[in-house]
Chain A
Amino acid sequence: MGAKEKQLKPQRRLKPVSNIFKHVKESKIGLIKNLIDKARLKSPWLLHFDCGSCNGCDIETLACLTPVYDIERFGIINVGNPKHADILLVTGTVNHRNKKVLKQLYDQMSEPKVVIAIGSCALSGGIFRDCDNVVGGIDRVIPVDVFVPGCPAKPEAIIDGVILGLQKFANKQKRK
Chain B
Amino acid sequence: MASTVIPFGPQHPVLPEPLHFKLKIEEETVVDAIPAVGFVHRGLEGLVSKKDFIQMTQVVERVCGICSAMHGMCYCMGIEELMGIEVPKKASFLRIVWTELHRIHSHLLWFGLYADSFGFESLFMEFWKIREKIMDINEATAGSRIIISVNVIGGVKRDISPEHRQWILSTLDEVEERLKRLEKVIYEDFTIRKRTVGIGILSKEKAYELGASGPMARGSGLDIDARSLGYGCFSELDWEPIVEYGGDCYSRAKVRFREMLQSIGLIRQAFQKMPRDEEICVKFNGRPEGEVISRVEQPRGECLYYIKGNGTKNLERCRIRTPSFANFPPIMSMLIGCRLADVPVIILSMDPCISCTER
Which residues of A line the B interface, CB within 8 A?
Answer: 48-63, 66-68, 78-80, 82, 92-93, 95, 97-98, 101, 105, 127-128, 130-134, 151-152, 154
Contact = CB atoms under 8 A, between A and B. Distances in A.
Given A55-B353, A58-B17, A60-B145, A68 B132 contact: yes
B64 interface: yes
Interface range on chain B (Cβ under 8 Å from partner): 35 or more
A93 B50 CA distance: 18
B239 interface: no
A127 B18 contact: no
Nearest 8 interchain pairs by C-beta: A56-B65, A80-B13, A66-B128, A55-B65, A133-B43, A131-B43, A58-B16, A132-B43
Contacts of A48: 16
Contacts of A62: 16, 128
B125 A66 contact: yes
B283 to A, nearest CB: 25
Contact of B41 (A49, A57, A68, A133): A133
B119 interface: no
Given A67-B125, A80-B12, A53 B355 contact: yes
9 contacts: A48-B16, A49-B11, A55-B17, A59-B16, A63-B132, A63-B135, A101-B11, A128-B47, A130-B47
Contact of B42 (A68, A79, A131): A131
Nearest to A92: B40
A93 B42 contact: yes
Nearest to A152: B146
B42 to A, nearest CB: 5
A132 B42 CA distance: 7
Contacts of B18: 49-52, 98, 101
A57 B147 CA distance: 10
Given A55-B64, A66-B125, A67-B129, A134 B11 contact: no
Interface stretch (B55-63, B90-98, B208-216): B55-63
Contacts of A63: 128, 131-132, 135
Interface of B: 10-13, 16-18, 38-44, 46-47, 50, 58-59, 62-66, 68, 109, 112, 124-125, 128-129, 131-132, 135, 145-147, 353, 355
A80 B11 contact: yes
Nearest to B19: A50
Contacts of A101: 10-11, 18, 39
Contact of A131 (B47, B109, B147): B47
A51 to B, nearest CB: 8
Nearest to A82: B11
Contact of A98 (B39, B63, B145, B355): B39
Q: Which of B11, B17, B353 has the most CB of A within 10 A?
A: B11
Given A55-B64, A55-B355, A58-B17, A127 B59 contact: yes
A52 B62 contact: no
Contact of A151 (B50, B129, B147): B147
Contacts of B135: 63
B303 to A, nearest CB: 15
B42 A134 contact: yes
A123 B62 CA distance: 16
Q: Which of B13, B59, B355 has the most CB of A within 10 A?
A: B355
A67 to B, nearest CB: 5
A130 B46 CA distance: 9
Given A54-B65, A63-B132, A68-B128, 6 more contacts: A54-B62, A56-B147, A95-B41, A101-B11, A131-B43, A131-B46
Contact of A105 (B11, B44, B50, B145): B11
Given A131-B46, A152-B147, A97 B65 contact: no
Nearest to B113: A62
B129 A54 contact: no
A120 B355 CA distance: 16
A134 B43 contact: yes
Contacts of A51: 18
Contacts of A79: 13
A57 B68 CA distance: 13
A108 to B, nearest CB: 10
A52 B38 CA distance: 9
B65 A57 contact: yes
A56 B68 contact: yes
Given A54-B63, A54-B65, A59 B109 contact: yes
Contacts of A61: 16
A12 B18 CA distance: 24
B45 to A, nearest CB: 9
B132 A97 contact: no
A61 B128 CA distance: 12
A53 B47 CA distance: 16
